[in-house]
Amino acid sequence: MEKVSKEREQTGFFIQVLEGELEKRKNLSEKVLETHSNGVSNLHIFPYRKKVELKQDILDLDVMSYTYSYLEEDINKYTSLRKLIKKAFNEEVFDSLTFKEKEELFFKQGNNEVVYTDKNYKKHTVTKEEYDLFFKRRKAYNQAMEFYNVREHVNSEDYLPINRATKHYIKFNKEQVLVSLRLESSNYRTGRITSKFISCLQNFIKDTGIEIVNIDQTENATYVNLLSEKENFMLNGLREVISQCELYRTEESFNYNLEVEIERNLHQENYSKDWYYFFTGNKYEELKDMFKKQESNFLAHPLYK
């Protein structure tokens, strides 16, 4: 009995990453979540979908602003410059800088303008404004291509999963909140916990008005997206699910992580987003020393920032 009590003791904790802390989120993923995949679907089935209205004008703009603005030689010019920046800061002394900070420093040295010669001995002059605009447009174009890829797989124009690949081009009601979950399923044991988690979640949201609008699986993670106007109710549900899905009925050596992303007022001026990473197991205990423990909890667990 004593052993069971120890095994069920809640040892998990959350780390919060705010909307503007993109580099912090990226670094946390890269340094800690070795099992975090690139999000490429293994299934292409998308059993959960929803009838949606598209922001077609935004989709068209993201495609045309890139394809109509840049020739192949332009693309090579900007991408080769980015490689040059990475190479210029590849020494260990620059490891504490984010790549965005490296870019800022690189252009600052030339008064926001860089003159360089590419591998074909062609000379280029690039301003910081031109550089930023190119990669902003390329990111939007790649985003649009992801959307078209999903739409091709489901063979529908407007009956779609709502996930990271499609949400940018879907119209949402003002009060709707999109909660996106990434659940570890990198091996048999974590996969079983994730399956239990999803089953408990389905039981909880039955007849509540909360919709599952996507379930997808990659090589080592399962993704679930929830849509509702009841943010607090959804979060209370997640708290209940975590307590029910047997995360703490395993030995101390068991390690598990999940990610909660909360997006409010999508495509509105008052849009906001928060990320929370959940960790349990000895492997992640050292993270507590890297962040500050908060007085408040999140989903009945200790919270660090």
Q: Yes or no: say if 79 and 87 are a contact pair by the CB < 8 Å rule.
A: no
Nearest CA to 304 among 282, 273, 275?
275
- Provide CB contacts within 8 A for 180, sequence distance 6+: 163, 164, 223, 224, 225, 226, 259, 260, 261, 263
pTM, entire model:
0.87
Q: In 138-163, which positions are buried (b, 16+ CB within 10 angstroms) versus exposed (e)?
A: bebbebbebbeebbeeeeeeeebbbb
User: Residue ranges per domain, the chain?
Assistant: 2-54+173-304, 57-154
Q: How long a stretch of residues is the chain?
A: 305
Cα 159 from chain centroid?
Answer: 23
Helices (H), 35-154: 56-67, 72-88, 99-108, 128-154
| CB-based contact 224:183 (threshold 8 Å) | yes
How far is residue 295 from each of residues 15, 101, 208, 214, 303, measured CA to CA in Å? 13, 32, 31, 34, 8
| DSSP state for residue 92 in the 8-state scheme | G
Place of tokens 């690189």: 106
290-293's contacts with Cβ under 8 Å and 24+ in sequence apart are 291/15
Q: What are phi and psi of 150, to 5 degrees?
A: -65, -45
39: left (phi over 0), alpha (psi -120 to 50) or beta: left
Q: Which strand ranges, in their side-by-side order, compose the sheet holding 301-304?
A: 211-217, 221-228, 177-184, 256-264, 272-280, 13-18, 301-304, 293-298
Whether 214 contacts 163, CB under 8 Å: yes
- C-alpha distance from residue 123 to each of 7, 118, 151 (Å): 64, 7, 41
Q: Give, for all 305 residues of the chain, the pLDDT tens digit.
A: 444 444 445 578 999 988 677 767 776 776 556 555 555 577 678 999 999 999 999 999 999 999 999 999 999 999 999 999 999 998 887 887 888 899 999 999 989 999 999 888 999 999 999 999 999 999 999 999 999 999 999 999 999 999 999 999 999 998 999 999 999 998 898 999 999 999 999 999 998 999 999 999 988 899 999 999 999 999 999 999 998 887 776 566 788 999 999 999 999 999 999 999 999 888 888 888 888 999 999 999 999 99
- Is residue 148 classed as helix, strand or coil in its secondary structure? helix
Q: Which residues pair with 26 in a beta bridge?
A: none
